[in-house]
């Protein structure tokens, strides 16, 4: 990131407007898919489809919104994939996971822009998104699958909800990490910036890199 990442009044640019826009495009489309998918999955939750405009509208919109989610996920891959590779500090993070869960920040290794948990969520959503896309296309157009390949429909019926359930688990962890584990992280995907204190506490390696980059540009 450029020197403009160091803002005035003790603030640091965490996410650009483009990054936030893509994140919320993925987020809102995912929540819609989550709710309508649960409505289709269980009769006990079918009322959700009624609330969201009726079963017919939910059934028609679900696959189209799925394409929007996949598109946003691919944009996030283009933006962040280079920053999501495992590093030595990530291995140290996993070894210190217990300290992270207990909010013992002084015992948790410094993280770069994304810590190991965030990277796991990124790759989890990416691969589950691919499985949801492939299985979803089969379920969307089952009449195009020849009888000799009918086993693909059987596999899709299992893979689609299984991948969806995995993403629900990842989504719960993502929300918890952004609201409870790293206080202030949720605000960063709305406003775009964080305090220098937050950057030092949770992502010191990233913050120090920004300082070095800013000094080199002067």
Q: Is residue 80 part of a domain?
A: yes
Residue-wise pLDDT tens digits, 25-72: 999 999 999 999 999 999 999 999 999 999 999 999 999 999 999 999
- pLDDT: which is higher, 111 or 136: 136
Strand bridging mode 11-13 / 193-195: antiparallel
Is 3 inside a domain boundary?
no
Containing structural domain, residue 207: 15-84+107-217
Residue 119 has pLDDT above 90, yes or no: yes
What's the domain count of the chain? 1
For residues 168 and 191, give the distance between their C-alpha atoms in angstroms, rounded to a whole number. 25
Residue 137 to residue 154: CA distance in whole angstroms: 13
In a domain, 211, yes or no: yes
Let me know if residue 198 belongs to a domain.
yes
Residues with Cβ within 8 Å of residue 50, at least 6 apart in sequence: none
Whichever domain contains 19, its CATH number is 1.20.950.20
121: in domain: yes
Please report whether residue 89 resides in a domain: no
> Do the domain assignments include residue 5?
no
194 belongs to a structural domain: yes
Average pLDDT of the residues in 96-112? 83
Residue whose entry in the numeric block shows the structure tokens 């993403």: 167
């Amino acid at each position: 990131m450029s020197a403009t990442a160091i803002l005035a009044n003790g603030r640091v640019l965490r996410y650009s407007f483009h990054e936030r826009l893509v994140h919320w495009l993925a987020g809102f489309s995912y929540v819609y898919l989550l709710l309508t998918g649960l409505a289709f999955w269980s009769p006990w939750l079918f009322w959700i489809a009624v609330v969201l405009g009726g079963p017919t509208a939910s059934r028609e919109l679900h696959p189209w919104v799925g394409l929007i989610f996949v598109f946003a996920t691919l944009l996030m891959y283009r933006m962040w994939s280079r920053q999501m590779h495992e590093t030595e500090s990530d291995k140290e993070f996993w070894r210190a996971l217990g300290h992270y869960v207990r909010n013992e920040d002084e015992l948790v290794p410094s993280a770069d822009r994304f810590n190991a948990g965030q990277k796991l969520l990124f790759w989890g959503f990416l691969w589950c998104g691919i499985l949801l896309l492939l299985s979803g296309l089969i379920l969307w157009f089952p009449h195009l699958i020849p009888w000799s390949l009918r086993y693909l429909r059987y596999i899709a019926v299992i893979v689609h909800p299984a991948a969806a359930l995995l993403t629900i688990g990842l989504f719960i962890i993502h929300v918890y990490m952004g609201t409870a584990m790293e206080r202030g992280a949720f605000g960063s995907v709305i406003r775009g910036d964080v305090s220098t204190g937050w950057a030092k506490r949770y992502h010191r390696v990233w913050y120090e890199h920004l300082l070095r980059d800013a000094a080199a540009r002067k």
